[in-house]
């Protein structure tokens, strides 16, 4: 654990996953979440004639989804567990001091479907950001440099 200022409540757990990686996943998840349902699966026209609106639709071969899935699947098991733990911290009423308990639950639940589980959550980016916030961490600096 990193040293906190004063009490146990202020201690930030040492994450297996770098905060910058979480922030990159948040950015990719936002791109993916912004997609709309496909209204015309095969329009048969030129993308420039359609003003490239297909890029905003959620196609099966979506490169953003593929990049997000690949990024998560390339993480170590510990990094995947931390990512799930952050998501759970962000979607529920947990405190930072409960990190070890929530992480143990995430470790016990870990399986080969972590990528699908995380990518299937439509609020993944919001939950990850809220989880970081619970720990007193933020993506503000990362986003400022990469947006």
Does residue 59 lie within any of the structural domains?
Answer: yes
137: left (phi > 0), else alpha (psi -120 to 50), else beta? beta
Q: Is residue 43 part of a domain?
A: no
pLDDT at 110 over 60: yes
DSSP states of 31-88: HHHT-B--S-S---S-TTTTTTGGGGB--TT-HHHHHHHHHHHTS-HHHHHHHHHHHH
Is 79 contained in some domain? Answer: yes
Q: Give 92-105 pLDDT, tens digit per residue.
A: 889 999 999 999 99
Q: Please, which pLDDT band fits residue 141 given cuts at 50, 70 and 90?
A: confident
- What predicted TM-score, i.e. pTM, was given to this entire model? 0.75
Tell me, yes or no, whether 45 lies in a domain. Answer: no
Structural domain containing residue 129: 15-37+50-146
CA angle at 111 for the pair 107 and 116, rounded to the nearest 5°: 115
């Amino acid at each position: 654990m990193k040293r906190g200022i004063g009490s146990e409540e202020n201690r930030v757990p040492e994450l297996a996953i770098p905060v910058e990686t979480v922030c990159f996943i948040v950015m990719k998840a936002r791109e993916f979440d912004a997609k709309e349902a496909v209204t015309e699966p095969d329009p048969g026209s030129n993308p420039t004639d359609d003003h490239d609106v297909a890029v905003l639709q959620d196609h099966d071969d979506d490169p953003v989804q593929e990049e997000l899935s690949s990024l998560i699947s390339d993480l170590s098991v510990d990094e995947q567990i931390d990512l799930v733990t952050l998501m759970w911290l962000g979607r529920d009423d947990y405190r930072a001091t409960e990190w070890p308990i929530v992480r143990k639950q995430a470790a016990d639940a870990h399986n080969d479907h972590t990528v699908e589980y995380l990518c299937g959550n439509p609020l993944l980016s919001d939950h990850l950001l809220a989880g970081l916030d619970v720990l007193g961490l933020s993506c503000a600096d990362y986003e400022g440099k990469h947006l």
